[in-house]
Chain A
């Protein structure tokens, strides 16, 4: 039966795992466990991307979302020794459910119907084609290694560069923020640096 074709089975399996792990991640009180659930949940989502025919996004999902982010999170949890988090109170959790469930219902009403295209009818995106899209200008004609030419639709080279800079800034910024003798700490503790006061005087 078509309903039990290998990719359909894989989808349901992976989805179930991802959903269960996500629920675990937002409900468990032990934060290390939550982070681990998150990591494996994202790991399984990489399978979804693979199924969808986007191998590069799948790999990136593994490396960044399933790898780096949970590790940093666990690291921070360990460092601050705040392993346990309790819900604020049951009332809040109930209200949160009250927001989340209508959202889910509303979202379902937006699905296109009837959904006729089957996944098997779409072509997977090769890493090379993705790279060309990412690093060229819109409208450029590029000959792939397979010999066929493609026209670049997106052409996001500028956005790519900007994102690179944002990442750099974010990392430098987080290093500065996380330094022990952070400026923010000083400001918060109320002792304004002397230079600041002087500048204010000069302005006035």
Chain B
């Protein structure tokens, strides 16, 4: 059976869940609508699994060793063609041209032969599965067809998105219980999942853009789910405006692609890009930068990351959804899809730098926060930075691997934090009271997720992050600037291990105590930027977590099941992508090999360095925040340093109160005077135009009739006599 015959159901079923929940959700009993959504998404997930298996069966299998030869042969072609075109332009003799052409033909023949030899199993005839029906037709142009593309990458994404969404739905059944707008929540989150599923299945960029925007709307609604909370209202507006601003770039980029390629078909773009864009690096760079602008907004890269922190105003499952399966993954997905274009231009180093710096600075900020959701939000920003770093270092497959791995472990961490919030009734990690005693499942799954995030052998994050760093290392041969990026990557890894261990230790191991942030008088000043005030936390408690408990309790089976399934799939996916299985995951996406990967024997050094970096981060966190006050007789200075946590908190205070505030002031001025003024101006413009239009709406029947008739007359006169003027 062709997977296209059922694939359309995968996004359709959650969309149906949206419809049913919106229409009948309140009549389906207390949890009827929720279980309906879960059931529909479960069906989607099963279909996605079938799709994945079928695509795997149809995909070609390559012989690893031989593929490298194919790649070499492929790389040899473009220079030859360049020589030929040059020769033609120079007006070389006929014999010379013919000789060159013969050489190319020979090379092509050799390539085909090599390809044939390298294929252990030929791809199925209809691989990759794609459909196309006329949709928007433009006279004289190719137009925009409606269609799905189910290549291995899409199948992998569909599987990941549906599975993670399913578990988030399951989690929400319990987490959101008692919420007034319970069915509405499930309606929104179902459509959110449907939009993402539709996006990764889209065959052309226009369809992709539609789903992309639908996702924007759904995130807007979900971030503002507690719409009575002022901060939530602001957060939803911010998220929408920032991502829309970025989408403008994407839109222009898509126009440009249509102009350059004459089509928006992803398959065609992939095939045409090397030929069309050869010699016009400017176009490729321009398109790449515009698309990257869109991806920056969606995937929260500096400086457009601002909305993601505020997006924490939504319920925790929404955060998990935005940060793992959908939304932020969309940007990376788009960039990976557009990689054939990016490759031809010069935008990649910039992408790498933006990603690397974002990874570092977000990881550096994360330890300064007490709100667990904010910590994880910074963590997401940082990990997305890693993905773009990998992408910018020519390791797009590594970025995809990290995207999938991150989706699993970050949703695990977010759901774990949700479970913690649910069980303890607070978001402040300092206020959580030795949760390890009360929440075993949450604790162990959080450890698995945390180790994965920190990049500890053998969890998913270890393999994927390492692959990204390897890609950066390999990129050194192209550009020396990547050396600094490699250091930045390791520094960010170190900080990642540090902040996630800190979170774990304080929340699970330590007894409850007042947050040093709230106690500090610094907080009275400008530090509200960094941390929530007590009132904020109290208000959040009112909205997102129901009631406060004196003794925390473990969550029910919905939540723990979701956590364990995620923990297991995160680990399994890591193993599938590891060198032990011959990088099966990456090979599935691209020709059986990963271009940037070296033989296993050469990777050990990287593994050891990564492990050391992660372990040192964890150790430092343990020394700073762990229960084991150093028993050994350390020198006075070291003991004091450790007891005071290297004055890290103070350093943060100092930094935040001093230079940061000073730095923040001009930024705040810029924000208020320029950006806000711009927004205000737009609002003012809309208000003015609206007011003018309101006056037109007199509400008098005859005025409408007059307007209509007069307009018809003017139009007719213009049409009949306009031609002669």
Interface residues of A (CB under 8 A from B): 99-100, 102-103, 106-107, 109-110
Contacts and interface: CB of A to CB of B under 8 A. Distances in A.
B713 A99 contact: yes
B687 interface: no
Interface centre among A102, A103, A107, A110 (most CB of B within 10 A): A103
Interface residues of B, number: 10
Contacts of B717: 102, 106
Contacts of B720: 106, 109-110
Interface string B687-725: 000000000000000000010011011001101110000
Contacts of B710: 99
Contact of B721 (A103, A107, A109): A109
B713 A102 contact: yes
Contacts of B719: 106, 110
A74 B717 CA distance: 37
A18 B222 CA distance: 61
B357 to A, nearest CB: 46
A72 B48 CA distance: 60
Contact of A107 (B706, B709, B716): B716
B378 to A, nearest CB: 36
A99 B716 contact: no
10 contacts: A99-B706, A100-B709, A103-B713, A103-B716, A106-B713, A106-B717, A106-B719, A106-B720, A107-B716, A110-B719
Contacts of B713: 99, 102-103, 106
Q: Is the interface of B mostly helix, strand, loop or mixed?
A: helix
A110 B716 CA distance: 9
Contacts of B721: 106, 109
Q: Is the interface of A mostly helix, strand, loop or mixed?
A: helix
Contacts of A109: 720-721
5 residue pairs, one from A and one from B, having the closest CB atoms: A106-B716, A109-B720, A103-B713, A106-B717, A106-B720
A107 B713 CA distance: 9
A174 B710 CA distance: 31
Contacts of A100: 709
A106 B721 CA distance: 8
A100 B713 CA distance: 8
B724 to A, nearest CB: 10
Contacts of A103: 709, 712-713, 716
A85 B141 CA distance: 56
Given A103-B712, A106-B716, A106-B721, 17 more contacts: A99-B706, A99-B709, A99-B710, A99-B713, A100-B709, A102-B713, A102-B717, A103-B713, A103-B716, A106-B713, A106-B717, A106-B719, A109-B720, A109-B721, A110-B716, A110-B719, A110-B720
A109 B719 CA distance: 10
A106 B719 CA distance: 8
Contacts of A99: 706, 709-710, 713
A21 B716 CA distance: 26
Nearest to B721: A109
Nearest to A99: B709
Nearest to B716: A106
B107 to A, nearest CB: 51
A100 B709 CA distance: 8
A107 B706 CA distance: 18
Contacts of A102: 713, 717
A126 B717 CA distance: 38
B552 to A, nearest CB: 33
B714 to A, nearest CB: 9
Interface in B630-679: none
Nearest to B715: A106
B233 to A, nearest CB: 16
Contacts of B709: 99-100, 103
A103 B710 CA distance: 9
Interface centre among B709, B710, B713, B717 (most CB of A within 10 A): B713
B464 to A, nearest CB: 46
Interface centre among A99, A107, A110 (most CB of B within 10 A): A99
Interface centre among A102, A106, A107 (most CB of B within 10 A): A106
A127 to B, nearest CB: 35
A196 to B, nearest CB: 17
A74 B716 CA distance: 35
A195 to B, nearest CB: 16
A110 B719 CA distance: 9
Nearest to B710: A99
B512 to A, nearest CB: 36
Contacts of A106: 713, 716-717, 719-721
Contacts of B712: 103
B119 to A, nearest CB: 45
Nearest to A106: B716
A110 B722 CA distance: 12
B79 to A, nearest CB: 55
Interface string B349-391: 0000000000000000000000000000000000000000000
B227 to A, nearest CB: 11
A106 B710 CA distance: 13
A158 to B, nearest CB: 19
Nearest to B724: A109
Contacts of A107: 716
A50 B21 CA distance: 54
Interface string B463-497: 00000000000000000000000000000000000
A110 B712 CA distance: 14
B187 to A, nearest CB: 16
A109 B722 CA distance: 12
A122 to B, nearest CB: 27
Nearest to A103: B713
Contacts of B706: 99
A102 B716 CA distance: 9
Interface in B1-36: none
A104 to B, nearest CB: 10
A103 B706 CA distance: 13
A102 to B, nearest CB: 5
A107 B716 CA distance: 7
Contacts of A110: 716, 719-720
A102 B721 CA distance: 12
A190 to B, nearest CB: 18
A103 B85 CA distance: 62
A109 B717 CA distance: 9
A107 B709 CA distance: 13
A100 B720 CA distance: 16
B336 to A, nearest CB: 43
A103 B715 CA distance: 10
Contacts of B716: 103, 106-107, 110
A106 to B, nearest CB: 4
A99 B706 CA distance: 9
Nearest to B718: A106
A104 B272 CA distance: 54
